[in-house]
Each structure stands twice: as C-alpha cells, then as structure tokens.
C-alpha cells in the first residue's frame, strides 16, 4: 500500500515536469504534417469532388476551405473520424458558457492530458502491486481506464459547471419575467425590454444578463425571432427559458397580448418556485434523521448519562 502511494506521487510529479517538454516536441513533430496539409490545400488540384460544395457537417468540424478547427493534426484526424464526439463537446462547452475561440481545442487538450496522466498513474500502480499481473496486462488495463476516464472525467467536470450555471439562470427567471411585464406595460418593444433588463441584471445575475444581451444582438441581426430564441434555449439548456421563449414566440407569431401572456407566466413561475421550496422543506425531517442518529443523539446521551455513569462507578468503587 505504501509503495502504491509513493508510485502515485511519483507519477504526478513526473507528469507535471514532463508536460511542457512533451507539448513542445509534439508541436515540433506535427508541424511538418500541418505544412504538408496547407500545401495540399492551397494547390489547384485540391478540390472537392462535388464541385467545391462542402456540407455543413464538414464545415462544423473544420474540413471545409475555411481551415481546420484544431491546430494539431492529431486532433483534426480524431474530429474527422468522430463527428459525434465533436458535436457533444460543442454542446457541453456551449452549456458551460465557454464560447471563446480556442475553447474546443483547450477542451480536447484537457482530454488528452487527463488520459495520459491516468495512463501513467494506473500503469505505475498496477505494475507495483502485489498481484501477479503481467506487464502487457497492466498496459491494456491502464489504456482502457485512461481512455474512458480521461473522456468521462472532463465531461463530468463540464456538466458540473453547466449545472451550476443553469441553476443560476433558473434563480433569475422569476425576476426576468416580472421585469419583462413591467417593461412591456411601459411601452417598450421586446428587443428594448430585453436590453434594459440585461442592464438591470448585470449586478444581480451576470450570467443571465450576458445571455439576454446576446439574444438582443441576435434579434437585431436575425430576421427570424424564433431562431434567436432557439439559440437562447440551446445555450442555457433550461426548462423555464424554453417555456419563456416559446411563450414569446407564440405571442409574436399569433399577435396575442404579450403583457397578458407574461403576467400569466410570472404567476406560474412563482407558484413553481413556492412548490419547490415547500417540497424541500418537507424533505428536511427525512434528511435530518441520519445526522441526528449519528452525531446529535450520541452527544446528548454522553451529556445526560455521563455524570450518572461516573457517579455509579465511584459508588461501586467505594
């Protein structure tokens, strides 16, 4: 057991020391492949078989004439073979609020580095245990755990970030609906109301304010308002946002009163929040049973019966 712990710390130290050098030599090794790919791309013979028309799926992973998504040839090869993996990564990054230019490549690097670290750690632990496992078996086991663990752990990390972000957005939905009602009743149009609410929510709920600001920009640039609301749903992945966007889209499309629809939605949102609080309060006695049994009741028994037991021991000794 002590040898396994020592091997674990040795693997961690080795990984952090070798990481900069490994990245440097990997970039130098793959630079020649990138140069060859650029030359082939710029040559007149490098044309698409369909007359230069590239599908949207190929463009989404960087196979169009716009250039690859990743700067690494290895990552681009993985993207070509696993389009579903790239779409899943883009969805996770979008829900986590990571929309900067190099987010996808940074996420891919984190998967690769996590898999490499898990492989080294599991290889050292499995090769130094007391079980008679051959080295080839240790390599296979470490490889499987590294691939699965490196892929799943990074996804779990982003899902945790997404859940916290979604919870923050859900907490601001009742205030958002109330402010929409006030702004629409005062005579503002939908786009102006969203801009004003985004400014008001900048201090109390910056995540929701950023999403509303982006939605206001999309409403000005996109002629179809349903597409802007659909983009908001995809970025937030929140059920109450979907309900709000569908309500706004139907009110605009069918010409119904936006104020009445929002007022009804505000009442429904407040009722849902009250029911959620009541359900959590009803679960409190059940959740407090085990802590009371293991932490509170023993202390009470010690305080109440301790002096009695000490007095009995003294009386019997005398």
On the CB side of 6, how many CA atoms lie within 13 Å of its CA? 6
Q: What percent of the chain has a predicted confidence (pLDDT) above 90?
A: 0
> Poorest-confidence range of 32-41, 89-98, 268-277?
32-41
Beta strand residue intervals within 170-255, DSSP E: none
Task: State the Cα–Cα distance between residues 126 and 120, nearest whole angstrom.
Answer: 10
Report residue 47 as tokens: 């044309």
Instruction: Give the confidence band of 250 by pLDDT, cuts at 50, 70, 90.
Output: confident
pTM of the entire structure?
A: 0.63
pLDDT of residue 67: 46
Q: Are 40 and 46 in contact (CB under 8 A)?
A: yes
Q: Is 288 helix (H, G, I), strand (E, B) or coil?
A: coil
pLDDT of residue 156: 87
Higher pLDDT, 123 or 193: 193
Task: State the Cα–Cα distance between residues 204 and 214, nearest whole angstrom.
Answer: 17
């Amino acid at each position: 057991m002590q040898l396994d712990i020592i091997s674990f710390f040795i693997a961690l130290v080795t990984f952090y020391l070798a990481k900069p050098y490994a990245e440097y030599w990997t970039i130098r090794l793959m630079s020649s492949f990138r140069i060859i790919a650029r030359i082939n791309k710029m040559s007149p013979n490098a044309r698409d078989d369909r007359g230069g028309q590239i599908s949207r799926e190929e463009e989404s992973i960087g196979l169009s004439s716009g250039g690859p998504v990743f700067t690494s040839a290895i990552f681009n090869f993985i993207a070509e073979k696993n389009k579903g993996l790239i779409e899943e990564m883009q969805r996770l990054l979008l829900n986590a609020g990571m929309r900067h230019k190099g987010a996808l490549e940074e996420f891919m690097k984190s998967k690769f580095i996590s898999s490499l670290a898990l492989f080294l750690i599991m290889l050292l632990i499995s090769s130094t245990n007391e079980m008679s496992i051959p080295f080839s078996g240790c390599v296979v086991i470490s490889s499987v755990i590294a691939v699965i663990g490196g892929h799943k752990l990074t996804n779990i990390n982003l899902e945790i970030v997404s859940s916290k972000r979604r919870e923050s957005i859900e907490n601001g939905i009742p205030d958002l609906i109330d402010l929409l009602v006030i702004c629409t009743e005062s005579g503002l149009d939908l786009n102006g109301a969203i801009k004003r609410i985004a400014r008001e929510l900048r201090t109390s709920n910056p995540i929701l304010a950023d999403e509303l600001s982006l939605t206001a920009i999309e409403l000005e640039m996109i002629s179809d308002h349903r597409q802007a609301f659909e983009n908001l749903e995809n970025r937030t992945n929140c059920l109450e946002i979907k309900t709000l966007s569908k309500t706004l889209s139907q009110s605009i499309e069918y010409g119904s009163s936006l104020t009445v629809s929002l007022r009804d939605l505000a009442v429904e949102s407040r009722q849902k929040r009250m029911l959620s609080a009541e359900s959590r309060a009803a679960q409190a006695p059940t959740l407090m049973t085990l802590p009371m049994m293991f932490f509170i009741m023993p202390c009470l028994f010690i305080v109440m019966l301790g002096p009695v037991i000490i007095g009995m021991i003294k009386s019997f000794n005398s």
